[in-house]
Chain A
């Protein structure tokens, strides 16, 4: 199939060997690329029950068939591995420029297996593949080591690194790229660290095979023109995603004080306008993006002076609101610290917020912290704790395994406010007064992440008290939004500009020569969703409905302040949402895909494993 580079690169870090094999045609047709390749290759290649941080886990990095091509937003890369944070399916996406570079080097997927006996990095320059010594980079910050590698190899190399948090296998360690973009979630950086893999450096000079170059030029031009002509094209970029901060407060969905409430009175001190006025140097975009969301800037006060990309909205929410930072400079500084340590700023802000609430409640005491405090609003305390976590010292060791682990270890009712699903910390939208958004988090296939289904405007329009109809919308979004991850494109042109979805089958045909209707693309997306669900069923003993609930705070504690005051969704409501969702998905009442559904989606190969678990689960 055109569009693909045509090869899979497999690297074994245990013995330092590699192989380059042709991309299987059926994999390309049935799974398209990116997230589809990640899901299928993990299912096929990672044996059931392996330790996520052991040598038998694998990392898959995959661009998609349209990645790198002349069309808006073609710069995304999908990473995946069995997640150390959750024990289930894990993936995470990053923009920047490395994904096209992998295609230009000639690869549609990189599979990394085994474990090096000392720190190494993976060097890829077209057909030259080397596992190189990384002793001099080990221990360095994620961005610091990227800077060093760029200096050593050249500006044209695109580099993904981990920081000390990844090296120390913190469960929410990220993979960092392009000076401040991250594949942040599910602990993919910890898996790199577990393999002693500090970095991946890529340079490629090849062209991407196109079915019809003239058609690609024509459709690509029309797509960019379409973006330029959209209402508000010029106005979206200045603030980027942080432009939504005030609005999320206005609707009462802003994580505040470890999700105790959903409104931060000082939100206008940490919003997009503050970023523009106090931090921004330049708009920093990914490859082929007409609306660059990255805000590269400098946070300078008497206490610190740092360059940092961001904060984007999620960081504003989880560091800003959730730990109650009162200035945008403090948010940016905490963001910088997370970036260098290689900590996901979503889980990072969530975990620190959790620890601060534990401290407030006396679960953690000053004595345990050698006199240090953990106060909401203190960037000093935030940074201190991040360093403890990244180096696994003191209480940082338990927190490095995420809030689920720490709350189980510490007890004392902390499980109630460990804000996670399936072991992954909740991201930037509170769900107690947004049932579709709540259900999105409950059923997201990597744990509590927003990006598979961002449904909060649907809640507002359809009625925020209402539960009926929400499951159908969530399922629709869970197929549309991850479609972009299959093709490894950015979805922001669609979401933020309203760029029409019917462009994608058109450009898909121009690039690949294959005709996929929109419904065909949605079918692939549904196939992958059911495969990742099956992966959970396979890997987690007793997996089912019980893993789809939010923490008790969300079903028992009314929101205490702000526009959503008094709201929450009691268990009966959550059950109604799940019942609807499972029924519409063709899953049983325990949330396990049915035989019919698997067969309908050409996932018959998963049926045997799933059937075993199905019989042991709750009766349908």
Chain B
């Protein structure tokens, strides 16, 4: 599974972010989600998504080795993170999310839940395996 954003499909609903925070933190808080949405209004009048591409650049800069590859995704172990933010600064996509209540930044672990519930097909599996759910 490779998460891919198609920003032109996004309508800004934040379903992905709510779901992400519920799945990973058991909290309902879009600001604790591992992906970003920015509205660009009035012009050009669209939304821009920022997602982790699992490029792995963050792995090399982490001083504690808290980011490890697991089943094709680079997963941040929040227990081992010291909050130095080296990964946040090194990320070429600017995809890490920082929240004031959390020492560790928030990183996508490619769980794929957001793909299953994006109402708009703005988040897709580049490998075409995961699809939006239906009854």
Contacts and interface: CB of A to CB of B under 8 A. Distances in A.
Direct A–B touching in the complex (beta carbon < 8 Å)?
yes
Nearest to A229: B135
A387 to B, nearest CB: 20
B18 interface: yes
Contacts of B15: 70, 224, 288, 290
Given A70-B19, A224-B119, A291-B119, A207 B133 contact: no
B11 A281 contact: no
A287 B11 CA distance: 9
Given A68-B28, A155-B39, A205-B100, A288 B135 contact: no
B130 to A, nearest CB: 14
Contacts of B47: 282
B29 to A, nearest CB: 4
Contact of A221 (B41, B99, B117, B134): B117
Contacts of A289: 11, 13, 119
- Interface band, chain B: 35 or more
B21 interface: yes
Nearest to B14: A287
A216 B28 contact: yes
A484 B74 CA distance: 42
Q: Which of B13, B44, B100 has the most CB atoms of chain A within a 10 A radius of its CB?
A: B13
Nearest to A204: B31
Interface stretch (A194-202, A241-249, A292-300): A292-300
A264 B102 CA distance: 58
Contacts, number: 117
A179 B39 contact: yes
A282 B22 contact: no
Contacts of B77: none
Given A104-B29, A213-B22, A285-B13, A224 B117 contact: yes
A97 B11 CA distance: 12
Contacts of A227: 119
Q: Which of A70, A104, A210, A281 has the most CB atoms of chain B within a 10 A radius of its CB?
A: A70
Nearest to B119: A290
A159 to B, nearest CB: 11
A226 B135 contact: yes
Contact of B29 (A208, A283, A286, A297): A208
A556 interface: no
A286 B14 CA distance: 9
Interface in A576-617: none
- Interface band, chain A: 35 or more
A97 to B, nearest CB: 8
A283 B11 contact: yes
Interface string A214-233: 10110011001111110000
A307 interface: yes
B56 interface: no
B134 A225 contact: yes
Given A155-B39, A286-B13, A70 B22 contact: yes
B118 to A, nearest CB: 9
A436 to B, nearest CB: 33
Q: Which of B29, B46, B101 has the most CB atoms of chain A within a 10 A radius of its CB?
A: B29
A178 B37 CA distance: 14
Interface string B11-49: 111110011011101111111100000110111111100
27 contacts: A69-B18, A70-B19, A100-B30, A104-B30, A147-B42, A178-B41, A205-B100, A207-B32, A213-B27, A224-B133, A225-B134, A226-B135, A228-B135, A281-B45, A281-B46, A282-B47, A283-B11, A283-B120, A285-B12, A287-B14, A288-B13, A289-B13, A290-B15, A292-B13, A292-B120, A296-B46, A307-B43
Given A68-B28, A228-B135, A289-B11, 7 more contacts: A70-B15, A97-B14, A214-B26, A216-B22, A217-B22, A283-B11, A292-B11
